[in-house]
Amino acid sequence: MTGRLAGKVALVTGAGSVGPGWGNGRATAVIFAREGARVLLVDRDAESVEVTAKQIRAEGGTVITQLADVTQPDDVETFVSACVDRLGGLDVLVNNVGGSRPGGVAELSAQDWQRQLDVNLTSVFLACKHAVPVLRARGGGSIVNIASASGLRWTGAAQVGYAAAKAGIIQLSRVTAVQYAPDRIRVNTVVPGQLHTPMVEARLAGQRAGGDVAKLLAQRQARIPLGFMGDGRDTAYAALFLASDESRFVTGTEIVVDGGMTARCD
């Protein structure tokens, strides 16, 4: 198979989706497979991740799935090992799992704060921890971590746990990139803005617009200078560049995918 990732093995966490359409994980997995990668899909939802896998198989790609909780060290160690054992190695890791919970410091419970850190940040730490030795032994590779514009700016709602964790991903990526650059392991971050992914209908509209999807979409689109919302495929194509050899001289940095939202000051 030819393509920008031909011959590479990629592991994508959060590769299912909370609903129909192009979430970041599903889009990344499908596009990577289209570009020639053999992919291991990790998710905790068996039905959802199988939808992604079926699409890849229907297009002739090579894919396996693994159910896991990315906040559990044993689960993470198991799926990294499974990637090596079943697909012959690991070249690209995409850490995509995440989710927000509303609330500022006075409103968010201590338990929810810790859960936000576990899901959004500790999951990235654990996957990197277990992937780096494999990538080092292989002679290098690429780690792509998915953060959020909430880690850079106020994006319309108080979600302090999510924002702090996503900011943490950016700095974790920079530190890891510099430390392991001599091993030819590149580490970069994709920072999506307010995309129209299945999460809008499944969760965010209920949290922020009383269940009114159209209202929430209008609010989000109004913040975007380009005047339209992207979707998970926009995140995936940024990740594709960072995963491919085209980005061989790119490490310790971020690609912001937000239609200009974080560049404006109002």
Q: Which residues are catalytic?
A: 162
| Sequence-distant (≥ 6) Cβ neighbours of residue 111 within 8 angstroms | none
The whole-angstrom separation of Cα 10 and Cα 134 is 12
Helix (H, G, I), strand (E, B) or coil at 9: strand
SS3 content of the chain, % helix, strand, coil (to 5): 50, 15, 35
Query: Quick one: tokens of 13?
Result: 């966490």
Residue 43 CB neighbours (<10 A): 28
- Residue 244 corresponds to which tokens in the numbers above? 């491919």
| Structure-derived torsion over alpha carbons of residues 266, 189, 248, 181, reported in degrees to the nearest 10 | 120
Half-sphere exposure of residue 125: CA atoms within 13 angstroms, side-chain side: 14
